Amino acid sequence: MLREARELLRQAEQAVERVKTAGTGGRLRIGYAPSLAEGLMTPAVTNFRQAHPGTQVEMSDLSTGEMLAGLESGKLDVVVSVAEQRQTRGLHWTTLAQMQWRLAVGSRHRLAKPAKVPPAELSGEPLLSFRRQEYPDYWEDVAAWLHQHGLRPRIAGEYDGGNSLLAAVASGLGVALVGTIPAHLVPTGVRLKVLADAPPSVCIAAGRRADRADDKPLAVFLEELRRAAAGMK
């Protein structure tokens, strides 16, 4: 009874919010990780606003845990994150792209010239990464790959976003394992190198609550995300 009562209260709160925002055309609350959504958010939001000019769009840069909590509590409508087996949490995921791994190095780094970088070349290199607490999925993938190849690099710095991480790479502070990034978004002074025996690709997906399947504006935004992802291939 307690669980059912909580669900009824949640639905009532959502109904009140829908009434409040009806006069302005509604509201779309998006959670995303910039390191994963590079090249997706801008075209998707721009095209969505053209189709729904009266809808208020709110975008929040969040960690994986914050995005999942926001979806489950109803504080977020959609997120762009790494898709995993989370269907049991009442969420539905729409696949957008498969992210391949690259090694980010400074343009003057010794590894900037080879066409493909073997894992052994990372031995002794200072490694830059995203913050462990905010990007647990990233850390798990990177740590597993490093362990697989017997590598124990020195973590020279942790960063809260892609811009600061790549700026550190460009400054020569170290190298970093990152996902594929559109060429026009790669900073000057950074080279993205193909890794030999790279970690498995990561599925980037848009997540929403399973009970929002009939939400038409949300469906429009998901379609715009799919189009943006297709344009990046």
Q: 2-98+203-231 sits in which CATH class?
A: alpha beta
E strand or H helix at 168, and its extent?
A: helix 162-170
Q: Do domains 2-98+203-231 and 101-200 have the same CATH topology?
A: yes
**pLDDT by residue (tens digit) across 178-227?**
988 777 778 899 999 999 999 998 888 999 998 888 898 999 999 999 99
For residue 11, the model assigns a pLDDT of: 62
pTM of the full predicted structure? 0.73
| Euclidean distance between CA atoms 25 and 217, whole angstroms | 10
The architecture in CATH of the region 101-200 reads 3-Layer(aba) Sandwich (3.40)
Q: How far apart are CA 181 and CA 99, in angstroms?
A: 9
CB-based burial, 85-113: b 16+ in 10 Å, e otherwise? ebeeeebbbbebbebebbbbbbeebebbe
Q: pLDDT of 133-186, one tens digit each?
A: 878 888 888 999 999 999 998 999 999 888 899 999 999 999 999 988 777 778
What's the rounded Cα separation, in Å, for the pair 93 and 222?
Answer: 10
Q: What pLDDT shows up at residue 91?
A: 87
Q: How far is CA 218 from CA 25, 37, 44, 161, 202, in A?
A: 13, 17, 12, 26, 24
* Domain residue spans of the chain: 2-98+203-231, 101-200
